[in-house]
Structure 1
Amino acid sequence: MPERTNILISGASSGLGAAMAREFAARGRNLALCARRIDHLEQLRTELQHAHPAITVALAQLDVNDHDRVFTAFGRLSQELGGLDRVIVNAGISRGQSIGTGGFTANRAIANTNFVAALAQCEAAMEIFRRQQAGHLVVISSVAALRGMPGLQAYSASKAAIATLAEAIRADTHATPIAVTTLYPGFIESDLGPTEEARPFRVSTDKGVRAMVKAIESESARAHVPAWPWAPIGFALRRLPLPVLAKLGRR
């Protein structure tokens, strides 16, 4: 398996994106970090380079819904680092409302950010990888993608869409030096996660991100993270009768 030295992470100013940046920096990787809040990125770069002075950290202020700028930012960061070995499509939003309850604006924002903007990032990354004839595309989906979850309809649909897109890219690049990984995180503490305090099997950001980075480094096609208990939960979710799924969604 090739060494992935230069790693781009979108949505890296906080939450899981920032935590992944810290984990990869500790492994000696160079980073290209994108997010809307450039001040947060600059603080993170200072922190990372103080702790790991041998690495390079490049930044780009980026709203992933500005699709033209996605291509410009990815291209500039690739040039700055001398190429990109891995791109982690992480930027996304959550929450939303049940369909038909007046939440179209919020649900449309979820669909646009989690799928259309993710599509732009995949396009930009794959252009670089095809030109290099190598690379690793990582898409952050969710266990909510496995079924249409009550109360999370738009979110579930957006995460299922990006997972399907990743699978299609994987099939398109099969038997080439380009790898594609889809992660299905369970409940991990982050700025994106649900606001309720009590969530079953919820893990800390550190534990969740360690599991995510381990799965990314393995470059498997798909992984539930953390594997326990989300691999068996994911298996069960796909098979739950709809009345049971509906009751779970109301909790």
Structure 2
Amino acid sequence: MTYRKNIVITGASSGLGEGMARRFAAKGRNLALCARRTDRLEELAAELRARHDGITVVTRSLDVNEHDRVFSVVKEFRAELGTIDRFVVNAGLGKGQPVGTGRFDANRETVETNLVAGLAQCEAAMEVFREQNAGHLVVISSFSALRGLPGNVTAYAASKAGVAALADGIRADTAGTPIAVTTLLPGYIESEMTGRAGSTPLLASADRGVRALVDAIERERAKAYIPTLPWAPLSVVMRFAPAGLLRKFT
């Protein structure tokens, strides 16, 4: 396991991004955090600096759909920290409606945020890693990436399948180099995005989910279902389930 000191996390003002920032700070890592909601981001940064002596926490306002700014913010983070050792592509969007119901706007925004902006983040991070000849790219996809899903998550699942394939391709391209790539496929983890799934028995607590995410990241696994139970066994079911049963995963 390689020690990664300087870590960038996008979408860090709440949910899984905030949780990962807290756990990495407790491990003594320096953090570069960005999100659209700067008030929450600055509160988090101030708390982490006060709680963990000796760590550096820098922040930037960032809407990942502003692609040019993604590249400039990443360059600023590298200049401030000296190196970027790990980059977590976490910022994402979960809204959407069934295709053909008049909400192309919502579905397009989901795909643009999760896939196109995900590509921008990967491009910016990989430019740094290729120049350094070192680094760890982490892409937060979703369990829903395994199959096309119906209803409100059709566009979301497609966008997460796309970003997972993107990460897998980058991993193949950098095989045998000092650059590592991890694809994470979380199931239901308590957060703002999964609030609508609150009644499912499969919902993991935020603490359990974030612990599993950080553990998989630290191990630099190529691909992992989060948490492993029940999502790794369910991945087999998901691949072969009849189309009529797929609503149970939405």
TM over 0.5: yes
Deviation at 1:194, TM superposition (A): 4.1
- Give the residue type in structure 2 aligned to 1:93: L
Aligned position for 1:197: 198
- Asked whether 1:78 is paired with 2:75, we answer no
Aligned position for 2:167: 166
- Give the residue type in structure 2 aligned to 1:103: R
Superposition CA RMSD, Å: 1.1
- Asked whether 1:216 is paired with 2:217, we answer yes
- Give the residue type in structure 1 aligned to 2:13: S
Q: Note the 1:40-55 alignment, pairs <5 A.
A: 40-55=40-55
Q: Note the 1:24-43 alignment, pairs <5 A.
A: 24-43=24-43
Deviation at 1:58, TM superposition (A): 0.7
Aligned position for 1:153: 154
User: Normalising by structure 2, what TM-score?
Assistant: 0.97
Deviation at 1:2, TM superposition (A): 2.1
State the distance in 1 between where 2:244 and 2:14 align: 37
- Give the residue type in structure 1 aligned to 2:160: K
Any runs of at least 4 consecutive aligned residues in structure 1 with deviations exceeding 4 A, and if so which?
Answer: none
Aligned position for 1:113: 113
Deviation at 1:248, TM superposition (A): 2.3
- Give the residue type in structure 1 aligned to 2:173: D
Identity of aligned residues (%): 58
Unaligned runs of 5+ in 2: none
> C-alpha offsets along residues 146-186 of structure 1, whole Å, 9 cap, x if unaligned?
11111210000000000000010000000000000000001
Aligned position for 1:4: 4
> How many residue pairs align between the two structures?
249
Unaligned runs of 5+ in 1: none
- Asked whether 1:176 is paired with 2:177, we answer yes
**8 A Cα contact 1:95 1:194, kept in partner:** no
SS of 1:31's equivalent in the other structure is strand
- Give the residue type in structure 2 aligned to 1:204: S
**8 A Cα contact 2:94 2:193, kept in partner:** yes
**8 A Cα contact 1:32 1:59, kept in partner:** yes
User: Normalising by structure 1, what TM-score?
Assistant: 0.97
Q: Note the 1:96-135 alignment, pairs <5 A.
A: 96-135=96-135
Deviation at 1:4, TM superposition (A): 0.3
